[in-house]
Structure 1
Amino acid sequence: MIEETGRVVALAPGAVWVETERSSTCSGCSVRSGCGQGLVERLGVRERRGLILALCDLRLSVGDTVVVGIRESVLLHGAVLVYLFPLIMLFIFALVASQLSAPEPYVMLAGLGGFLVAWLVVRKRSQQTSADPALQPVVLRAALAARAG
């Protein structure tokens, strides 16, 4: 289970909206001074907060600190579907067009067509599974907030 700490910002029936702080690994990277990602991070250009809807059966109130989790398999499957599948489809469509001795512009168009087909499949799949509770993040537990003093 991949866990992230966040703060409850709103309540919904059977769920809560949680605001999380996005963390960066730039502090541990050896090339952080020459990396564009590190520069963007230092300048604070990117929004550092994320808002997610997490299923919850605990009695929480706005402002509570919680630990939200999602199964590794769900994250891995989603990453393959969103990143790898379109790339594979692009290559397959371009390869088929190339094997059919199509001119190079048509091979490129076929590759883009494959990417578009994959994008449509990913979009349709995400619409079909958006309400599946097994794929949603869940509130694992309420975290103890550090007391100032």
Structure 2
Amino acid sequence: MLIETGKVVAVESDGLWVETISRSTCGSCAAQKGCGQSLLAKLAGHTTYLWVSLGGRNSADYQVGDDIELGVPEAVVANGSLLVYLLPLITLLGFTLAASELGWGEGATTLAGLFGLVAGGALVRWRAHVTRHDSRLQPVLVDDQQVVSVS
């Protein structure tokens, strides 16, 4: 389980709105000072707001400004990354190869590849929309009230 710290910005009866700040995944890299990713993360401090279910906990136990820990299963992150990065590339290559095999010209083949890339992105967006309420894919509160199990 990947653990992230967040700050409560709103409390609802069945969940919390939590603010998280994206951290560079390459924080331990030797090239950190020369890395554009690290610099942008520090300067911009990309803030993200997440809704987290209380999972049966009492909302009175949480107040705005509390620091909490969120957990996301590693498999969710790995599978999501594969979907987001590979699906558009696979559709780009598939459409490009299909256009090439059909004997289309260079310009049409390029446009077919571009269409495949956009179609792959649209499929990713559709999948995200369909699974947006799937509780298995949502972050969970990690505290003394929840046993963290690694499946």
Q: How does 1:60-99 map to 2 (within 5 A)?
A: 60-99=62-101
Segments of 5+ residues of structure 1 without an aligned counterpart are: 143-149
Counterpart of 1:120 (choices 111, 119, 122) is: 122
Secondary structure of the residue aligned to 1:141 is coil
Q: What corresponds to 1:55 in structure 2? A: 53
Amino acid of the residue matched to residue 141 of structure 1?
D
What TM-score comes out, normalization by structure 2 length? 0.81
Q: Which amino acid aligns with 2:53?
A: L
Most deviating of 55-64 and 106-115: 55-64
Q: How many residue pairs are counted as aligned between the two chains?
A: 140
The match for 2:148 is none
User: Which amino acid in the other structure matches residue 136 of structure 2?
Assistant: A
Instruction: Give 3-state SS (helix, strand or coil) of 2:142's partner.
Output: strand
CA distance 1:63–1:81, change in 2 (3 Å): same
Q: Deviations over 1:57-111 (max 9, x none)?
A: 3332222221101111111121111111001110111011112221111111110
Q: Which amino acid aligns with 1:50?
A: T
The whole-number CA distance in structure 2 between the counterparts of 1:121 and 1:74 is 18
Q: Report the aligned-residue RMSD.
A: 2.0
Q: Could you say if the C-alpha distance between residues 13 and 86 of structure 1 is closer, same or farther in structure 2, counting changes exceeding 3 Å?
A: farther
Per the normalisation by structure 1, the TM-score is 0.82
Residues 1:65 and 1:128: Cα distance change in structure 2 (over 3 Å): same
Q: CA shift at 1:26, angstroms?
A: 5.5
Q: Specify every segment of 5 or more residues in structure 2 that has no aligned partner in the other structure, as ranges.
A: 145-151
Report sequence identity in percent.
39
In structure 1, C-alpha distance between the alignment counterparts of 2:26 and 2:135, rounded to whole Å: 33
Residues 17 and 86 of structure 1, relative CA distance in 2, 3 Å threshold = same
TM-superposed CA distance for 1:39, in Å, is: 4.1
CA distance in 2 between partners of 1:108 and 1:36 (Å): 30
Which runs of structure 1 show a deviation greater than 6 angstroms over 4 or more consecutive aligned residues?
none
Q: 1:29, CA displacement in angstroms?
A: 2.2
Q: Aligned residue for 1:146?
A: none
Q: Distance in 2 between matches of 1:77 and 1:31?
A: 28
